[in-house]
Chain A
């Protein structure tokens, strides 16, 4: 114990370690302050480095993080208050005509959607029958939880947001998050009342996708820009065109299959590279949405695996690394 040795060398044995820790010292013990506190600082730095290593390479500290997250969540809410107030104020002062217009618009939208959902029900039944004929597993229905955005992680290097549903609502790490238009991100940390969502555009994020038109598979990596994803390692011969819809492929099992991710914005083929540069514009409004949906995948015990499932969720697929921040790069 270096700190103890430093103390015993001094004539001021009355000085306790507790005093050192609290930083309360008398003038008499000025020179003890130098040695003892230096050792304490070194010790704290070492403990910090061990914690950093543990936290970034294992999941041991997840519960600690979630406990501290529960403690600090009020601060996040306080910091978000100006925006929440602005929103509710905007609702209060909205004019009558404006509200009528919005109402009429929403009614039209509901009509459109209910017409589509009628078709959807019929098609779902048909799809299920066809899958049964092929002997493959039926796609499972997914339950959703509506959550509201209550904060943004204040680090320009990462794209992460904080939502107002946590372990109390049953949210767990790894769940997919969507908004009304498409895939939004995934849960990376859960505290009691809030959770942190890593957006699909974060530079450290990558997800398996397929082209909706022909099923060509690829990996969509974040770029660190709010409006672009990039398909990684696409051969120049791959059949991907501008305007193609990119959707989740469900491989790796983290994201459910078939949610829209984005539209191909540009395909650049360079003569010097064997790979095409494919930029994808996300369909989700990543920087404007206030409400998102957390997906709760349903699991069954009897999974029948066969060839027809390759484009579907494979539960036994090689799992992603524990920490989603490290997947892809």
Chain B
């Protein structure tokens, strides 16, 4: 029996179904991230776990107890909101203990719990202040303190970092991860930022259009995307998707694209392709991550199948740690990621190494992965 079970859950507003048959099992101590573009239903799903939105059909249970129709305060959950939702008229201390007070916890215990949390988050000097007197990062901490003090079964985070500036966001990300490692609590976290999803989670559910597109570990999602949506949504810069032709010869297979001069390049697939992967000459979409298209010296030494090609570089974008290059393949712009010191000049033809281990194929019609 899993800790948090979402079984065949749907959400509709009138006749409009916005979440379609969602199934997720979360084990105790997991950090599940729901990620997707806005309007994909991730926040709705989180609100349903919290009990702020009704479940239209299906079942949701925490620790084996069915939670459909149970009031939010009786689910033993805590939530951190995007706007932090700190009560403006109360001090930080009152904000943190409000939930305990509502649950009739005696004052000495409330204070003990508050002190524990205040020390953990280092917000002790802020306890007497009002939320209006705090910076964004401090508010974020207080909001987390308010969630932590309840000792809930499940923590729910609704885009908690999206109101912070870039540097603070990275710091708080690490902080949240540390907190999870230390406390080992179960967390469901909603974000539209795929980097947050990758760095924080133990598992990711990529959502789009009210469907779970793929559920898996960050590595699975990144290396083995189930469809074109997942492939292009996860990763920055996003995966290059090129139209290509499938070449089959007995048990071996390859895909053919064109280089910047319109000449064909053949990319052999080391592990071949299953029978239903398409016939010889079929149209496919080849997905190449920017880091799989790099300079020969920067290529992964453990890769089993590297194809060397030469291609013209149109634009270089030195980013400090890497240099991103734009080149043309299969008639479209393709982004490659090279070492920072790679000697590349715009307009010149350079050597590239394509790590075929990381290349994935998709069906152009169904947009699903071909293996």
**A and B part of one assembly:** no
